[in-house]
Amino acid sequence: MNLSLLAKWRWRILQNEQILWREVITARYGDEICFTADWSGLSFPVTSSAWWKDISKLESVAGSITWISKALERRVGNGRSTYFWLEKWIGGSTLRDKFSRLYSLSEQKQVLISDVVLDNFDRSRLEWRRGLFQWEKESLGQLEELVRDGILTLYSDQWFWKLEGDCLFSVSSAYDRLAVNLYNFGPILDMESRVFKKIWSSPAPSKLIAFSWQLLYDRLPSKTNLYRRGVVQGLRCQECVWCADKPESGKHIMLHCNFAKAVWREVEDLSVFVVRVEATTVLLFSVLIAGYNW
């Protein structure tokens, strides 16, 4: 869950908040971090703090280096904080990608929309390294035709989080997206979705909530996971610490190990819950949730 919490910092950096910590990191790492969602092309000092290095590397940790930028949408208002060439503000892609030749000739690669578009697009506001050839002028005409559809308003430019219905960032939706990209999980079933929502909204301590998510996604540092990551070597190193009979997975030590079964029998004897020890971890949590009635 740490990665999704780091993603929340990325979201907060993009918000137009006049707060001290944002001004400090902007002075340290540049204004561009406040204007663009895709940091994959940015570079930062090697002396950056460990916290900042983790935040800046979020693109590289998931299966898709554009997972953050794809989850975010820039909606232009007055155009005063959105890059004309570098942001996806019209036409579904950046103007840099759509008109790469013109971008390569531009002297204003970080120009803002408001500097180019007032009541309408004004091509005279664009500056070039040299005069444009005829075919480049035709490309500029296509650019003008596209940008003509972009209407500025009096409102500020805003970022929207496309993974939530209210368009506001949530750690849980970022976690789900990371789980799909990073661990190649399939779609979450209805039962799993209900369990995740209940866990997230439960009154349990944050460490217990984090442990529950790790267990459900099989991300606990069990011996099988450590072996898979190359931390431990040899098949015998995967044996369960309690029974030394089966590989030590999260599901095994919580449900199927003889030691775990004995614990659940004690719980049943107290008439607290009836637990089927052959169930999956999702079913286990659904039983616990039903018994507690969160």
Same domain, 44 and 64: yes
pLDDT in tens, 43-55: 898 888 888 988 8
Q: Which of 35-39, 94-98, 149-153, 182-186 has the highest mean pLDDT?
A: 94-98
Tell whether the model's pLDDT for residue 279 goes beyond 60.
no
Query: Is residue 152 located within the same domain as residue 83?
Result: yes
Do both 85 and 9 map to the same domain?
no
* Mean pLDDT lowest among 58-62, 139-143, 225-229: 58-62
Mean pLDDT of 43-70: 81
- Name the token pair of 86: 């570098």
Residue 170: DSSP 8-state: -
What per-residue string of b and e applies to 164-174 under the rule 16 or more CB within 10 Å gives b?
A: eeeeebbbbbb
In the chain the first and final C-alpha atoms are separated, in Å, by: 22
Yes or no: say if 72 and 65 are a contact pair by the CB < 8 Å rule: no
Q: What was the pLDDT predicted at 61?
A: 66
pLDDT attached to residue 11: 92
H helices of the chain, in order, are 2-14, 20-29, 50-56, 58-61, 67-71, 95-98, 100-105, 113-116, 134-147, 171-183, 190-201, 206-216, 223-228, 250-251, 258-269, 281-292
Same domain, 40 and 125: no
- Taking the CA of residue 112 as centre, how many other CA atoms within 13 Å lie in the half-sphere pointing to its CB? 16
**pTM higher than 0.75:** no
Would you say residue 163 lies in a domain? no
Question: Is residue 70 predicted with pLDDT exceeding 60?
Answer: yes
**Do both 25 and 85 map to the same domain?**
no
Chain centre to alpha carbon of residue 271: 42
Domain span at 146: 77-156
Question: What pLDDT, on a 0 to 100 scale, did the predictor assign at position 1?
Answer: 45
Question: Structurally, how many domains does the chain consist of?
Answer: 3
- Residue 34 placed within a domain: yes
Whether residue 237 lies inside any domain: the answer is yes
The answer as to whether 167 is a domain residue is no
In a domain, 96, yes or no: yes
pLDDT of residue 253: 86
Mean pLDDT for the stretch of residues 235-251: 83
Decide if 250 is inside a domain. yes
Res. 10: pLDDT tops 50: yes
Better-predicted residue by pLDDT, 193 or 19: 19
Q: Does residue 205 belong to any structural domain of this protein?
A: yes
